[in-house]
Structure 1
Amino acid sequence: MTSRFTELVVDCHDPERLAAFWCAVLDFKVIDRSEGKVEIGSWEPAVEEVRARQMPPTLMFIQVPEGKTVKNRLHLDVSPIDGSTEDEVARLLRLGAAKVDVGQGADRNWVVMADPEGNEFDVVRTLAPPRTVHLIN
């Protein structure tokens, strides 16, 4: 007997707003929504696929009345795939993220950010292929 990691749930005030933000960050789409709940993912889960192998989890945003009060004990790390970490941080700032200080110090190779409701996440190393410089003789 075993289980699968199928969803990561985020409590929030505005599920639609956070789902839209994270869809833009991760290039996900909304796969389910109901009163006070929005689920997003890179794929639409089917029981047969989930039973066959571990698939990427979806993100589910559920409306709750209380606000965030302390640093998250769990957070997401995101890796840019087609640009530098600095370029991705700039893009995420335009989408509504903010840089935050959770005591990480300055000598780190990642950037701590927060989504529009203050949930921390890290932008880590880029996965983009190195750019080739062509010299002309």
Structure 2
Amino acid sequence: MTSRFTELVVDCHDPERLAAFWCAVLDFQVIDRGEGKVEIGSWEPTVEEVRARQMPPTLVFIQVPEGKTAKNRIHLDVSPIDRTTEDEAARLLALGATKVDVGQGPGRSWVVMADPEGNEFDVVRTLAPASAGHSRRRPDPHRGR
């Protein structure tokens, strides 16, 4: 038997605020709450479902006292499903994200952003139908990062 990737844990100061932001970004919902912890996902995981097949991981926000001090060693990539990368970046700015420079250089086809607590993530290629005039070619968002 192998392991399954079930959760991605994010240390933060305000789990409720970060969970609300990421629920709006990903169209997830809160699936569990505890003291200093909020878990969100696109599905309610059960042991049986996880054992049966690989399922999308949930995000768990855990309250910690220390702040973020350096560039993330791991980050999320998100792909818009119904708009361009640029339009999605604008939507995320309105939700509270910021654009950041982590040394990616100019002219990239993805946008590096940070959530309200400064955790970097990338908005990469759109998954909108090609008939809508969007490129489906996947650039390497990690080259030059």
User: Which one has the largest radius of gyration?
Assistant: 1
Give 1:2 deviation, angstroms.
1.5
The SS at the match of 1:49 is helix
Q: Distance in 2 between matches of 1:48 and 1:122?
A: 32
CA displacement 1:53-107 (0-9 Å, x = unmatched): 1100000000000000000010000000001111100000000000000000012
Question: How big is the alpha-carbon RMSD for the aligned residues of Structure 1 and Structure 2?
Answer: 1.1
Give 1:109 deviation, angstroms.
1.0
Q: Which residue of 1 aligns with 2:75?
A: 75
Identity percentage of aligned residues: 86
Q: 1:89 to 1:132 in 2, by over 3 A?
A: closer
The SS at the match of 2:32 is strand
The one-letter amino acid paired with 1:77 is D
The one-letter amino acid paired with 2:19 is A
The SS at the match of 1:33 is strand
The one-letter amino acid paired with 1:112 is V
Alignment of 1:1-137 (within 5 A): 1-131=1-131
Give 1:51 deviation, angstroms.
0.6
The one-letter amino acid paired with 1:118 is G
Unaligned runs of 5+ in 2: 134-145
Q: Distance in 2 between matches of 1:75 and 1:103?
A: 15
Q: Distance in 1 between matches of 2:132 and 2:5?
A: 39
Unaligned runs of 5+ in 1: none
The SS at the match of 2:122 is strand
Give 1:132 deviation, angstroms.
5.2
Once superposed, which parts of structure 1, at least 4 consecutive aligned residues long, lie more than 2 Å away?
130-133
The one-letter amino acid paired with 1:3 is S
TM-score, length basis structure 2: 0.89
Q: 1:42 to 1:132 in 2, by over 3 A?
A: closer
The SS at the match of 2:108 is coil
